[in-house]
Amino acid sequence: LPAIAKAQADETSRAWNRPVEPFRIIGNIYYVGATEVSSFLITTPKGHILLDSGLAETVPLIQANLKKLGFKIEDVKILINSHAHYDHAGGLADLKELTGAKLMASEADAALLANGGKGDFRWGDDLSYKPVKVDRVLRDNDEVELGGVTMTARLTPGHTKGSTTWMMKVNEAGKQFDVIFAGSTSAPGYKLVDNPKYPGIIKDYAHTFQLLKSLPCDVFLAPHGSIFSMLEKA
């Protein structure tokens, strides 16, 4: 079964990691990821914030996309994450080494990142990646600030125990907009009832959906491009 999971993941990864031209979404937010695995660059005068690394194989693509937009990977000062699965955190170790940026993540996902994805309640050790140490552990409503930009972490557990939704405000054409980078909320093959590895999963998902419903949102973004019809908007 682990071999089958790995083979399926490899095939999926190749499809998800197809290149796409980078583009500005709104304000100081840019899409710099692949076709299906998202990566967002939030620019500031004091350096940049990068949300999600995609796969390990996505890192060279992110580098190239930043260059196309006129930015330097070395100017990334902070790395943040939606959740600690291989397709969104697989390249964080390489990016941290490449940039010297500080990595910030929720407590539950910090442990998963440090283990390289091993010990995940759903995937076990099957979908592992290079381990990476978190520099700052985030709790619900904690703020990440850089160069006058503030991003707020909202814990939205379920998909992982530390899945995180990010919020920020941007200015565009003289107006202010609320932007949401949603954490994943899918449950692919998850055991939701009487799950010994995650007894509180139903309660956490219920909390997450209620919280997401309550957040102000003008622009909705997500860890997978298909969730917000990225290709149609690129």
Determine the average pLDDT of the residues in 135-159.
99
Average pLDDT over residues 68-95: 98
Tokens of 34: 């692949």
What span, in angstroms and rounded, lies between the C-alpha atoms of 206 and 30?
31
How far apart CA 44 and CA 53 sit, in angstroms, is 19
**pLDDT digits 0-9 by tens, 176-208:** 999 999 999 999 899 999 999 999 999 999 999
Q: Give the amino acid at 226.
A: S
Proportion of the chain above pLDDT 70, given as a percent: 96
Confidence category of residue 229, pLDDT binned at 50, 70, 90:
confident
Kindly tell me if the per-residue pLDDT of 47 is higher than 90. Answer: yes
Confidence of residue 221 (pLDDT cuts 50, 70, 90): very high
d(CA 79, CA 101): 6
- 151-173 mean pLDDT: 98
CATH fold of 2-233 reads Metallo-beta-lactamase; Chain A (3.60.15)
C-alpha span between 30 and 23 (Å, rounded):
6
Rounded to two decimals, the pTM is 0.94
Residue the block writes with tokens 């919020």 = 167
Question: CA–CA separation, 47 vs 215, rounded Å?
Answer: 27
d(CA 202, CA 140) in angstroms, rounded, equals: 19
Return mean pLDDT, the chain: 94
Domain boundaries, the chain: 2-233
CA angle 166, 170, 176 (to 5 degrees): 120
Cβ pair 217, 178 in contact under 8 A = yes
**How far apart (Å, rounded) are the C-alpha atoms in residues 233 and 23?**
9
Residues recognised as catalytic: 83, 85, 87-88, 159, 190, 224
